[in-house]
Amino acid sequence: MSSRESILAAVRRNRPEPAPLPPVADFGGAATVEQFTHWLHFIGGQVIRLAAGQPLTDAVRQLYPEAVRVASDLIPATVPVDQHTPTAVLEAVDVAVLRGELGVAENGAVWVPEANMLHRALPMISQHLALVLDHRSIVATMHQAYAAVQHTGNYGVFIAGPSKTADIEQSLVIGAHGARSLVVLLR
Amino acid sequence: MSHPLRAAAFTSDAERTTWHDETLWFVRQKRDKAVYGIPEFQQLRQLASDIKEHTLSRLDEYLEQFEQNARANGVQVHWAADAEEHNRIVLDLIRKAGATSLVKSKSMLTEECHLNPYLVNNGIAVVDTDLGERIVQLREEAPSHLVLPAIHLKKEDVGETFHQHLGTPKGEKDPQALTEAARLHLREKFLIGEVAITGVNFAVAETGAVVVCTNEGNADLGVNLARVHIACMGLEKLIPRTADLGVFTRLLARSATGQPVTTYTSHFARPAAGREMHIVIVDNGRTRQLGRPDFRASLKCIRCGACMNTCPVYRRSGGHSYDFTVPGPIGAILSPNIDMRQHSSLPFASTLCGSCTDVCPVKIDIHAQLYKWRQIIAQEGELPAAKKLGMKLLSSVLARPGIYRLGGKIAREGLRFLPHGLTHAQALNPWAKARELPEAPKQSFRDWYAQQAVKQ
Ligand code: SF4
Q: Which residues contact B277 (CB under 8 A, 6 or more apart)?
A: B74, B75, B76, B228, B229, B231, B268, B270, B271
Directed axis angle between helix B328-338 and helix B366-379, to 10°?
40
Name which of B224, B236, B283 to mutate to probe chain A: the one with the most chain A Cβ atoms within 10 A of its Cβ.
B224
For chain A, the domain total comes to: 1
Structural domain contains residue A45: yes
Residue-wise burial string across A27-42, b where 16 or more C-beta atoms lie within 10 A, e elsewhere: bebebebebbbebbee
Structural domain contains residue A17: no
Q: What is the pLDDT of residue B397?
A: 79
Rounded to whole angstroms, the Cα distance separating B193 from B64 reads 31
Task: Report the half-sphere exposure of B359 (CA within 13 A, side-chain side).
Answer: 31
How close is the Cα of B394 to the center of ligand 1, in Å?
Answer: 34
Ligand 1 within 6 A of CB of B304: yes
Q: Specify whether the CB–CB gap between B143 and B319 falls below 8 A.
A: yes
How close is the Cα of B296 to the center of ligand 1, in Å?
Answer: 14
Q: Specify whether the CB–CB gap between A16 and B53 falls below 8 A.
A: yes
For A124, other C-beta atoms within 10 Å of its C-beta total 30
- What is the maximum alpha-carbon separation in chain A? 67
Question: CATH assignment of B38-153+194-287, given 3.40.50.10420, 3.30.390.30, 3.20.80.10, 3.20.20.150?
Answer: 3.40.50.10420
Contact A158 B264 (CB under 8 A): yes
Mean pLDDT over each residue of chain A, to the nearest integer: 96
A–B CB contacts, 8 A cutoff, strictly below: 262
DSSP string covering B230-242, please?
Answer: EEEEEGGGEES-T
What residue spans define the domains of chain B? 38-153+194-287, 294-379, 400-455
What residues of A are in contact with residue B245 (Cβ under 8 Å)? Answer: 142, 146
| CATH at A57 | 3.40.50.10420
Structural domain contains residue A15: no
Q: What is the pLDDT of residue B367?
A: 96
Percent of chain A with pLDDT over 70: 100
The 3-state DSSP class for residue B304 equals coil
Beta-strand ranges (E) seen in B312-428 are: none
**Structural element, H or E, at residue B401:** helix B401-417
Contact A165 B179 (CB under 8 A): yes
Cα distances from B78 to residues A1, B95, B271, B402, B456, in angstroms, run: 14, 16, 16, 65, 78
Answer yes or no: pTM beyond 0.90. yes
Ligand 1 within 6 A of CB of B159: no
Rounded to whole angstroms, the Cα distance separating A124 from A111 reads 14
Rounded to whole angstroms, the Cα distance separating A50 from A132 reads 10
CATH T-level fold of B294-379: Fumarate Reductase Iron-sulfur Protein; Chain B, domain 2 (1.10.1060)
> What would the pLDDT profile of A87-119 be if each residue is shown by its tens digit?
999 999 999 999 999 999 999 999 999 999 999
For A92, other C-beta atoms within 10 Å of its C-beta total 14
Contact A170 B148 (CB under 8 A): yes
The 3-state DSSP class for residue B322 equals helix
> What would the pLDDT profile of A158-167 be if each residue is shown by its tens digit?
999 999 999 9
What pLDDT tens digit does each residue of chain B (456 aa) get? 899 999 999 999 999 999 999 999 999 999 999 999 999 999 999 999 999 999 999 999 999 999 999 999 999 999 999 999 999 999 999 999 999 999 999 999 999 999 999 999 999 999 999 999 999 999 999 999 999 999 999 999 999 999 999 999 999 999 999 999 999 999 999 998 899 999 999 999 999 999 999 999 999 999 999 999 999 999 999 999 999 999 999 999 999 999 999 999 999 999 999 999 999 999 999 999 999 999 999 999 999 999 999 999 999 999 999 999 999 999 999 999 989 999 999 999 999 999 999 999 999 999 999 999 999 999 988 777 767 777 777 777 788 888 888 877 887 777 777 777 777 776 667 677 767 777 888 888 888 898 888 877
Q: What is the pLDDT of residue A149?
A: 96
CA distance B374 to chain A (A): 23
Contact A176 B272 (CB under 8 A): no
Structural domain contains residue A6: no
Rounded to whole angstroms, the Cα distance separating B193 from B224 reads 10
Judge if B38-153+194-287 and B294-379 fold alike in CATH terms. no
How close is the Cα of A69 to the center of ligand 1, in Å?
Answer: 44
CA distance A61 to chain B (A): 26
Q: Specify whether the CB–CB gap between A113 and A101 falls below 8 A.
A: yes
Q: What is the pLDDT of residue B414?
A: 75
Q: Please, where are the H alpha helices in B58-154?
A: 59-72, 83-96, 108-112, 115-121, 131-138
Of residues B302, B176, B197, B24, the one with CA closest to residue A165: B176
Q: Specify whether the CB–CB gap between A130 and A95 falls below 8 A.
A: yes
- Which residue would you say has higher pLDDT here, A53 or B282? B282
Q: What is the pLDDT of residue A131?
A: 98
Domain that holds residue A45: 29-186
Contact B50 A106 (CB under 8 A): no
Task: Report the half-sphere exposure of B125 (CA within 13 A, side-chain side).
Answer: 9
Q: Which of B40, B43, B56 sits opposite A16 (nearest CB)?
A: B56
The 3-state DSSP class for residue A150 equals coil
Structural domain contains residue A20: no
Q: Specify whether the CB–CB gap between B376 and B336 falls below 8 A.
A: yes
Q: What is the pLDDT of residue B427?
A: 66
Structural domain contains residue A54: yes
Q: Which residues contact B128 (CB under 8 A, 6 or more apart)?
A: B104, B105, B106, B116, B134, B136, B137
Nearest CA to ligand 1 atom 6: B301
How close is the Cα of B32 to the center of ligand 1, in Å?
Answer: 15
pLDDT of A154 strictly over 80 = yes
B362: left (phi over 0), alpha (psi -120 to 50) or beta: alpha
Helix (H), strand (E), coil (C) string for A2-70: CHHHHHHHHHHHHCCCCCCCCCCCCCCCCCCHHHHHHHHHHCCCEEEECCCCCCHHHHHHHHCCCCCCE
Cα distances from B416 to residues A120, B290, B408, B427, B437, in angstroms, run: 75, 54, 13, 21, 11
What DSSP designation does A107 have? Answer: T
Structural domain contains residue A125: yes
Structural domain contains residue A19: no
DSSP string covering B58-85, please?
Answer: THHHHHHHHHHHHHHTT-EEEEESSHHH
